Amino acid sequence: MGESYVPQKIVTLLSDFGLRDPYVAEMKAVILSKCPEAKIVDISHEIAKFDVYMGAFVLACAAPHFPKGTVHVAVVDPGVGTRRRSIIVETKLGYYVGPDNGILMQAGCRESLDHVYAIENPQFVAPKVSKTFHGRDIFASVAAYLAEGVRARAFGTEIKDYVVPDFAKPSLADGSVFGQVMHVDGFGNVITNIPSEIVKNLGIREQEVLKVEIGKKDMVLTFCSAYGDVADGVALAIIGSHEFLELSVNRGSAEVRFKAKIGDSIRVQRQNYI
C-alpha cells in the first residue's frame, strides 16, 4: 500500500556533517543532477557527531509535517564502510533512506512501516562508492531516483532483520508504558520516546495523577495540557508539540530537577491503576 502515493520530488536531508565542509553541498549536487526538479529541504546538519539517538528524534519530529510521498535522507553513520547495510524504509506516508543503524526507525514505525529494502542494485548508486561517504554516493543518489518515481522494490531485496533500536519501540506491560529519554530541549524539558497514541491507549486523561520512574528516581506528576496548569516550579507531564510525552517543570528545568539524561529508562503508570 505504501506506493499508492505519487512522489512529491521533495527530498529532506538530516546529518551530523555541519556546514563548514562540502559534504552537504555534494549530496545536494547528486540529487539535483539526477532529479533537477527536486525541492531539497534541510531538516538539520547540526546533529551531534555520531549521535544516532538525536538524529532519530529530530527526524521523527520533523517528518510528519511534510507532504505524503516525501523522501527523507538521514546520515548519522558511525558504521560507514563496514558491513552495516544501506536501506530504504517505505511507510504509508513516504520513504526514508540511510544506514541500517536505527536512525530511520523511530520515524518509520510512527508512520506504519510497510516495507524495508536493502539497497543492492548498482544501477542506482555511484559507479565508485567511497568507503567514507555513503551519504553522497548511495543515499543521495537513491533518494533522487525515488523522487523521480522509481519504486522502492527496484533497489534491492526486501528484508525483515533490519535494526529496530529500543528507543523506537516503547512497550506496554501490566498497565505501564516503558520507554526512554530521547532528548532534552533548551528549556530543560525531558522528552521521551512515548508517543501520544500510547498515552491515549492507556486511558490517561488531563489532570490525572501519574506514577513516573525515571532512572532510579520515582515521582508523582499531574498530566496537564499546558505548562501553566501548575504553579511555577511544579513538575508535570505533558504531550509536547511533537506528540511525545514530556516531563517538565513550569518555568524550571526537569533535566536539573530529575537529573535526567538521554538514554535513561522511564516507566509511566496511572496512579489509580490496579
Q: Looking at this protein, which amino acid is placed at residue 202?
A: L
Residue-level pLDDT at 202: 84
| Exposure b/e, 114-124, CB count within 10 A at least 16 = b | bbbbbbeeeeb
What is the per-residue pLDDT for 39? 98
Cα separation, 194 vs 180, in Å, equals 8
At 1 the pLDDT is 42
> In whole angstroms, what is the distance from residue 220 CA to residue 247 CA?
11
Nearest to 89 by CA among 58, 56, 122, 61: 56
- pLDDT for residue 274: 47
CATH 3.30.390.10 fits 170-270, yes or no: no
Q: Is it true that 2-155 and 170-270 share their CATH fold?
A: no
What pLDDT was estimated at residue 125?
98
The Cβ of residue 265 has, within 10 Å, a number of other Cβ atoms equal to: 13
DSSP E strands, 185-264: 190-195, 209-214, 217-224, 235-239, 244-249
Q: Where are the domains of the chain?
A: 2-155, 170-270
Distance (Å, rounded) from C-alpha 212 to C-alpha 223? Answer: 11
Task: State residue 3's pLDDT score.
Answer: 56
pLDDT string in tens for the chain (274-residue length): 445 666 679 999 999 999 999 999 999 999 999 999 999 999 999 999 999 999 999 999 999 999 999 999 999 999 999 999 999 999 999 999 999 999 999 999 988 899 999 999 999 999 999 999 999 999 999 999 999 999 999 999 999 999 999 888 898 888 899 999 999 999 999 999 999 989 988 888 899 999 999 988 899 999 999 999 999 999 999 999 999 999 999 999 999 999 999 999 999 998 775 4
Q: In the Cβ-directed half-sphere of 266, how many Cα atoms lie within 13 Å?
A: 30
pTM above 0.85?
yes
Q: How far is CA 69 from CA 4, 93, 161, in A?
A: 9, 6, 25
Instruction: State residue 7's pLDDT score.
Output: 65
Characterize the bridge pairing of strands 86-91 and 113-118.
antiparallel
In the numeric block, the cell 525483515 is attached to 160
Instruction: Write down the pLDDT at residue 271.
Output: 77
* Architecture label for domain 2-155: 3-Layer(aba) Sandwich (3.40)
The DSSP-derived string for 125-151 is S-SS--SS-HIIIIIIHHHHHHHTT--
- Asked whether the beta carbons of 256 and 188 are under 8 A apart, the reply is yes
As a whole number of angstroms, the distance between CA 81 and CA 127 comes to 16
Are 168 and 62 in contact, with CB atoms under 8 Å apart? no
